[in-house]
Chains A and B, each alone.
Chain A
Amino acid sequence: MLRGAVGRQRATTSQRYHLVVFSVGGRRLAVKTEEIGGISSWDGSIPIPSCTPFVSAVIRRGQSVFPVFDLAGKLKVRVKGEQRLCLMAKQPGGAMAICIDEDMPVLHSLEAAKVQAYRHNDIDAAECFADEFEDVPILSAARLGADYEQR
């Protein structure tokens, strides 16, 4: 039946994860494509003295200023490469920039059944997927840096 077929198709579509897989300091990470505002070259950042953990710089793009989340610092690694990239993570309060390795990010689509709970506490990730090499955490872009409340 047509209605049933459409329903099954919707269910099938919604059960896929569309991810961008990138790396920071050689550590592979993923973010859902809908949580990414863009990827461009990294042109350096402007340091801002700050008490907010891992948020102590901004980048300027024309007449706009975006905060930078130090994901490498959070992971205790150093971003790799001379031609680093800037990943813009969508957040409710506005986009946030992340400096990532120069390795070109890869689009990745996988079935929801392959997504598992992420059991480590090193990063704000609730889920991960396993490929032939390792478990790749799926970051929640909206949650990056959100665990800090002013004391």
Chain B
Amino acid sequence: MSLRGQRVESAALVPVERFLIVEIDARQFALPADLVQGLLTMEEQGSVDTLTVQGQDYAFFDLGGRLGLVHAADGPETRIALLAQAGLRVCVRVDRVHGLVEVERTRVVPLPGQFRGEERNWYAGLLLHGDGVAIGLHTRWLLSGATQRGGESMAQDQRLPLRLFDTSDRMRKGIAC
């Protein structure tokens, strides 16, 4: 194999990560796509504290409140994102879903060191997205509000497949996985 061929191969294997970009209070956040089990409209939400979807309970995690943000009023863009990993399940309310993006890992930069507070536990990094920045959220922090039921832990290979379901026509067209 020629050196040139090796270079081409390595260029094609740039590590990528997938994120669901959501918005709360005009700020964009990046949810690791492998956490996202689905999206619900407000009509489908039902109970506020715990949501049961396909027999699985998702504890409500007040993402906006934890970040000191003010949610927009419920509207047609409002969604509940179902997140799960290793048996831990939470749901978060977001003002809007921008879509699923696949980005090279080099476009996820660390949170600058001048941020010294509790936020270092919240953010995994900053995602260079479009002309701006989406705030990458830590999986561990997102799932910290979950309650794990006995014997329900899932091994990594048993993780639920990514399913972004949404009954609205608009979202079904907008997100394809």
**Interface positions of A (Cβ within 8 A of B):** 46-52, 55, 58, 60, 63-67, 69, 91, 93-94, 96, 145, 148-150
Contacts and interface: CB of A to CB of B under 8 A. Distances in A.
A52 B112 contact: no
A116 B13 CA distance: 58
A28 to B, nearest CB: 24
A51 B117 contact: yes
Contact of B114 (A46, A55, A150): A55
A60 B131 CA distance: 8
A109 B124 CA distance: 43
Nearest to B123: A48
A46 B120 contact: no
Contacts of B135: 48-49
Contacts, number: 70
A60 B112 CA distance: 12
Interface in B122-139: 122-123, 126, 128, 131-133, 135
16 contacts: A46-B27, A48-B27, A48-B115, A48-B126, A49-B27, A55-B114, A55-B115, A60-B128, A64-B109, A65-B109, A65-B112, A65-B133, A69-B114, A93-B114, A148-B117, A150-B118
Interface SS, A side: loop
Interface in B100-115: 107, 109, 112-115
Given A65-B112, A69-B114, A58 B133 contact: yes
B132 A46 contact: yes
Nearest to B110: A65
Query: 10 shortest A-B CB distances, which residue pairs?
Result: A51-B117, A93-B113, A49-B67, A67-B112, A52-B117, A67-B114, A51-B118, A50-B119, A46-B133, A52-B116
A68 B105 CA distance: 24
B15 interface: no
Contact of B119 (A48, A60, A96): A48
Given A52-B115, A93-B113, A150 B120 contact: yes
Contact of B112 (A47, A63, A93, A150): A93
Contacts of B132: 46, 60
A93 B114 CA distance: 7
A69 B68 CA distance: 19
B53 interface: no
Contacts of B118: 51, 150
A60 B133 contact: yes
Interface in B8-54: 27
